[in-house]
Amino acid sequence: MGESNTVREKYVYSVRMVNVDKYFGNVQALSKVNFEVRNNEIVGLIGDNGAGKSTLIKTITGVFPPTSGELYIRDEQITLSHYSVKQAHNWKIETVYQDKSLADKQDLWRNFFVGRQITGPLGFIKVKEEKRIANDVLLNMIGFRGAGISVDSKVAVLSGGERQGVCIGRAMHFDADLIILDEPTVALSLKEVRKVLNFVHKIKDSGRSCIYISHNMADVHEIADRFVVLDRGTIVGNIKKDDISLKDLSTFLLDYAHGLKETKNS
């Protein structure tokens, strides 16, 4: 698919799920979920462990099909039986996993292009070109400022935040329309979290959409345009950023958690 920025502006929704159910055997993981990400919107997906966040993401990325419901990507209805991870890639949906996206012992430039190398005849890699582009993307596209790091560095010397930066830069370079960040700031220091949030701002600035999954209200509140709260497979909150302050959002979630506890106990 050769679309570029022009196509990015044509559609209303990057992704839209309508009445999606997902069962694993008898267990209902998602129940009548209506979820959408608008074009160039950052959605914060919030929920406790086991709320169904990753199930929701995996239906979008084609890991498994929903049991019933409709899925639209860029306003086009998807035939669920034919939807796969590979197709999700073709639709330019990229997921950044915390620890499964980069190989530690390999050079940064290799990690950037692996699987999508720039090759000459006979499949040999054009190293200079790959290094130049990787360097350019990291410096200019996402404002990577890690001192002492070059594209020749091993990934092992990067900090957690820098790793996220590389992944986000990679997704942006390969023209992802929707970037899904799965708990990108878990186990990061405050300084590193700052870096990651800056990278996410770049996603927004470049006209792309993003689903940001997190436990941390402060992070989500800063970067997201809208918050979707998931609990035990159902969407219990769908709030625009302008309608709620960080404090109110936290209170809402806490109340919800307490409310649940009470119902569980009673």
Partner 1 sequence: MRVYEEKRSLLVRIEGLPIIGVYCLLILVFIFTSPRVFTGYRIYMSFLQTVPPQLVIALGLTLVITAGEIDLSFPAVVAFSGFLFSYVYRTFGTPWFALAAALAGGALIGYANGILIARLGVPSIMATLAAQFFWNGLTTLLSQGLSWNIVTIRGQLIHSLFVGRIGGVVPAQAVWTLGIAVLVWFILNRHQFGESIMFIGDNVQVAQVVGINVVKTKISLFTFHGVLSALGGVLLTLEMANFWSTQGSGFLLPVMAAVFIGGTSIAGGYGTIVGTFFGMYIIGSLEAGVVASGIGGYWVRLVSGLVMAFSIILNISFKNKSIGEKWNKMLRSQAEKKRNKA
Binding residues (CB under 8 A) for partner 1: these are: 89, 97, 100-106, 110, 114-117, 119, 122-125, 127, 135, 138-139, 144, 146-153, 157
Tokens 């019933």 — which residue? 68
**Which tokens is 250 given?**
């936290």
146 or 237: CB nearest partner 1: 146
Query: In sequence order, which residues have a C-beta less than 8 Å from that of residue 93 and are 6 or more positions away?
Result: 15, 60, 61, 73, 176, 177, 178, 180
Closest-CA residue to 70 (of 14, 31, 27, 16): 16
- Shortest Cβ distance from residue 150 to partner 1 (Å)? 4
25 or 121: CB nearest partner 1: 121
- Shortest Cβ distance from residue 105 to partner 1 (Å)? 4
Residue type at 247?
K
Distance CA 81, CA 61 (A): 13
- Shortest Cβ distance from residue 195 to partner 1 (Å)? 13
9 or 124: CB nearest partner 1: 124
- Shortest Cβ distance from residue 103 to partner 1 (Å)? 4
Residue type at 77?
Q
**C-alpha 173: how far from its chain's center?**
15
Query: Which is it for the CA torsion 230, 234, 239, 244, positive or negative?
Result: negative
31 or 135: CB nearest partner 1: 135
- Shortest Cβ distance from residue 99 to partner 1 (Å)? 8
25 or 148: CB nearest partner 1: 148
- Shortest Cβ distance from residue 141 to partner 1 (Å)? 13
Element (DSSP H or E) covering residue 95? strand 93-96
Contact (CB, 8 A) for 193 and 106:
no
- Shortest Cβ distance from residue 191 to partner 1 (Å)? 10
147 or 190: CB nearest partner 1: 147
Closest-CA residue to 246 (of 234, 258, 254): 254
- Residues 9-47 as b/e (b if ≥16 CB within 10 A, e otherwise) read eebebbbbbeebebeeeeebbbeebebbbbbbbbbbbbb
Facing residues of 33 across strands?
20
149 or 249: CB nearest partner 1: 149
